[in-house]
Structure 1
Amino acid sequence: MSDIVEIRNLTVEDYFDLKASMVSAYADMSGSYWREPTIRRLISIFPEGQIAVTVNDKVVGCALSIIVDYNKYGDDHTYEQITGYYNFSTHNPKGDILYGIEVFVDPEYRGRRLARRLYDARKNLCEQLNLEGIVAGGRIPNYEKYADKLTPREYIRKVRDKEIYDPTLTFQFSNDFQVTKILRNYLPSDEASKGFATLLKWYNIYYEPDRDNIRYTKSTVRIGLVQWEMRDYGSLEGFLSQVEYFIDAVSDYGSDFVVFPELFNAPLMAEFNQLDPAGAIRGVARYTEQIREAMQQFAVSYNVNVICGSMPILRNDLLYNISYLCRRDGTHEEYTKIHPTPSEVYAWGIKGGNEIRVFDTDCGKIGIQICYDVEFPETSRILAEQGMQILFVPFMTDTQHAYNRVRFCAQARAIENECYVAISGCIGNLPKVNNMDLQYAQSCVLTPSDFQFPVTGIKADATPNTEMVVIADVDLVLLKELHAFGSVQTMKDRRKDLYEVVQKKKNG
């Protein structure tokens, strides 16, 4: 089972987990943990600013903050002064700066990018509250190793230039914080930092001086498509290594989704090539759950939602073509291809699924259709009526004619349903796998056709038949504007008095 990761607001009931994690995090600073009355007060005056990360419902880290009128304190202050000597009398809901007073993750849970999630949550809060930015005083715990030969300024420069690694400062630089000043005696008890600290600032580029503090949801979603090459990976381990490589690469760009193609695990069929095609695909189906579990773990580790292409699966001796949505919080759901192609039925005996539904994610409502499914407009329309904003289409096509059927139909779905459509396909050859010889693809992100979008309706596309990734940002607010003010409004202007699309079977 994969761990379930959640970012949420801290509560008073979390205190004992919080204390245990903080004691572990600051093992080099004996007695450095927040007392319960202090946490209670902090939560009572600014609950939304206290953010916890949990693993399987256990608090393993947190980011604590207050809002201050920064002009009252300026850049020359100590930790005690900015926190009102730990009673937080300095908190001002009408202030202009989100001041970070604590961030830590239990050492047992490090290496999972949990601190990055805390920082992202804090940045989102800063944007939602329309504050100028985030300020914090940062430790430089490795400085004690260099204090006899480097000044703090020289040490910071070498950390910035990656000549020296500092567990705190290196992380701050990677999260777009700038060091604006060196503070003396900021936290005198921090012996490892020799009493020095960095004054760190992150600037909110969305800040609007004349806007009230109105909460809003960031609208931009980043999509990463993997144009996957079919080739011999040697083993399941080799295959998963390549999967992790692409997830890692796409997550480095800050993507919210990574999308793999249909039947991208087909190279593993080479192991069963002595069997007929139906036997071979049933052989490789035994790996599907194992691959899904690995991709679910990758989704958590790399903090990205994964559309797991599609894979064959056997259930009650029936073969299906299934895709998984592996969310970055550790949960997953599945979609079964509804329309197997004639060749899938003839060669493999694949059966069609019976569910048409959208999936909720932290980046809006999405739909999944596998290849041939997108050529049936009725199912896409049902998803649109359920609120779908992005449709993901893993596909596998052997010829350019087959590819164009998918591409042109996907473009039509984007226009008629006023949504984004992202298609991801396989390329390359598999000479040792029966019925999977050739692949042709040009993966792309497609948009509706109106003034807010590219005139071609193509947000981004890949080089045909080249292994690569495509990264594209899509703005969900533009879809709302299109629905309300578009030159044409296909969803609104349907003649429901004359026709309708009806889903006959209930999901589940």
Structure 2
Amino acid sequence: MSRFTVAAAQYPIDRLGSWADYVAKLERWVGEAAAGGAALAVFPEYGAMELAALDPATMGDLAGSLASVAALAPQVDALHAALAARHGIHLLAATMPVHLGGMHYVNRARLFAPNGRMGWQDKLVMTRFEREQWHVAAGGPLHLFQTALGPIGVTICYDSEFPLLARALVEAGAEILLVPSCTDSLQGYWRVRIGAQARALEGQMIAIQAPTVGKAAWSPAVDVNRGAAGVYGPPDGDFPTDGVIAAGVEGAPQWLFAEIDLAALGAVRQTGAVRGVAHWPEQPGAAPLPPVRPIDLR
């Protein structure tokens, strides 16, 4: 499948009253993505932190919110697996903290295929907030997901601002880069957006950014959320002159839909006006790249 529709969420953080409320919300959102024809739907970074509202005793505490949300990981994953299978769609679940023992938490995205398979990607470079206040640790390694839609990589929010991570995924075969994000300022949003667009340019790939939006004053972790979803490609060949395939309205809860064509991407890599992927090693000081572990979700 070279041409298909993708959906990127501009996802609001809601103060949920129960697990049933969360299930209903996810069912509605995934149902809308599928009804829009999406073969791939992307949720944002830390969207799962709205689940902290289910434990009023800890939801206002950073450490407590990590623990309460992480404890729900098996249920959250089972819900996404069921929705992916029900709708025949690939789902990148909103990232959530995963407890690895002791005080060690990582920020993890999980990609669910409609055939029941799942792979995960941890964030590798942590922001100051994660390091200094929340104490969420870096994880890894990089994974390349082989899917029925094509080879997919994930760089979570800040990770998209570091070109060697995406380059390692490109050299492993990635054609689509998923960029779930969570930023509390427009400056933060633009840093991630510019990073995603730069990765699409230099990697001659499709980058899909999905942010959290809105305010959640009850949460010390995701209280303010600014951003817009975007689908970006290389500004070459049959792609838009600015590389922006689609862009959402900042701050509005919505799905952003776009049709992407991996055959057009392949043509750009082979016969485009420039060949950034092929010419990367010619730049002085091109650094050794981190290893990438393949995961087969087909």
TM-score normalised by length of structure 1: 0.55
**Residue 280 of structure 2 is aligned to residue 494 of structure 1:** yes
Residue in structure 2 matched with residue 234 of structure 1 by the alignment: 17
* C-alpha distance in 2 between matches for 1:494 and 1:321: 30
Residue in structure 2 matched with residue 470 of structure 1 by the alignment: 256
Contact 2:52 2:59 in 1 (8 A): no
* C-alpha distance in 1 between matches for 2:59 and 2:168: 42
1:18-58 alpha-carbon deviations (Å, 9 max, x no partner): xxxxxxxxxxxxxxxxxxxxxxxxxxxxxxxxxxxxxxxxx
* C-alpha distance in 1 between matches for 2:22 and 2:165: 32
Q: Which amino acid aligns with 1:334?
A: W
**Residue 100 of structure 2 is aligned to residue 315 of structure 1:** yes
Label 1:487 to 1:354 Cα distance change in 2 as closer, same or farther (>3 A): same
Residue in structure 1 matched with residue 213 of structure 2 by the alignment: 427
Residue in structure 1 matched with residue 46 of structure 2 by the alignment: 263
Which deviates more from structure 2 when the two are superposed, residues 388-397 or residues 349-358? 349-358
Q: 1:483 aligns with which of 255, 263, 269?
A: 269
**Residue 287 of structure 2 is aligned to residue 287 of structure 1:** no
> What does 1:15-26 correspond to in 2, within 5 Å?
none
Residue in structure 2 matched with residue 392 of structure 1 by the alignment: 178
Unaligned runs of 5+ in 1: 1-217
* C-alpha distance in 2 between matches for 1:274 and 1:478: 46
2:11 match: secondary structure: strand
Q: Which amino acid aligns with 2:256?
A: V
> What does 1:154-303 correspond to in 2, within 5 Å?
218-270=1-53, 271=55, 272-273=57-58, 276-303=61-88
Cα deviation for residue 414 of structure 1 reads: 0.2
Label 1:401 to 1:275 Cα distance change in 2 as closer, same or farther (>3 A): closer
Cα deviation for residue 220 of structure 1 reads: 0.1
Cα deviation for residue 435 of structure 1 reads: 3.3
1:227 match: secondary structure: strand
1:113-139 alpha-carbon deviations (Å, 9 max, x no partner): xxxxxxxxxxxxxxxxxxxxxxxxxxx
Q: Which amino acid aligns with 2:142?
A: I
Cα deviation for residue 494 of structure 1 reads: 2.5
Cα deviation for residue 428 of structure 1 reads: 1.1
* C-alpha distance in 2 between matches for 1:266 and 1:332: 21
**Residue 135 of structure 2 is aligned to residue 349 of structure 1:** yes
1:269-323 alpha-carbon deviations (Å, 9 max, x no partner): 2324466312222221111221011101100001000011201110122101001
Cα deviation for residue 498 of structure 1 reads: 4.2
* C-alpha distance in 2 between matches for 1:234 and 1:275: 15
- Higher relative contact order structure (alpha carbons within 8 Å, sequence separation ≥ 6): 2
1:284 match: secondary structure: helix
* C-alpha distance in 2 between matches for 1:276 and 1:455: 46
* C-alpha distance in 2 between matches for 1:494 and 1:397: 30
* C-alpha distance in 2 between matches for 1:480 and 1:275: 48
> What does 1:104-115 correspond to in 2, within 5 Å?
none
Contact 2:12 2:214 in 1 (8 A): yes
Q: 2:123 aligns with which of 337, 359, 382?
A: 337
Contact 1:273 1:432 in 2 (8 A): no
- Quick check: which has more Rg, 1 or 2? 1
Residue in structure 2 matched with residue 193 of structure 1 by the alignment: none
Cα deviation for residue 503 of structure 1 reads: 3.4
1:364-384 alpha-carbon deviations (Å, 9 max, x no partner): 000011101101101000000
Cα deviation for residue 505 of structure 1 reads: 5.4
Cα deviation for residue 358 of structure 1 reads: 1.1
* C-alpha distance in 2 between matches for 1:442 and 1:497: 33
Residue in structure 2 matched with residue 371 of structure 1 by the alignment: 157
Label 1:497 to 1:448 Cα distance change in 2 as closer, same or farther (>3 A): closer
Contact 1:357 1:386 in 2 (8 A): no
1:492 match: secondary structure: helix
Residue in structure 2 matched with residue 162 of structure 1 by the alignment: none
Label 1:222 to 1:433 Cα distance change in 2 as closer, same or farther (>3 A): same
TM-score normalised by length of structure 2: 0.93
1:392-428 alpha-carbon deviations (Å, 9 max, x no partner): 0110000101100000111000000000000001111
Residue in structure 2 matched with residue 82 of structure 1 by the alignment: none
1:215-260 alpha-carbon deviations (Å, 9 max, x no partner): xxx4202101111111212122211211111111111122110111
Which deviates more from structure 2 when the two are superposed, residues 284-293 or residues 417-426? 284-293
* C-alpha distance in 2 between matches for 1:366 and 1:497: 25
Cα deviation for residue 479 of structure 1 reads: 1.1
Matched residues, number: 291
2:179 match: secondary structure: strand
Contact 1:278 1:348 in 2 (8 A): yes
> What does 1:44-123 correspond to in 2, within 5 Å?
none
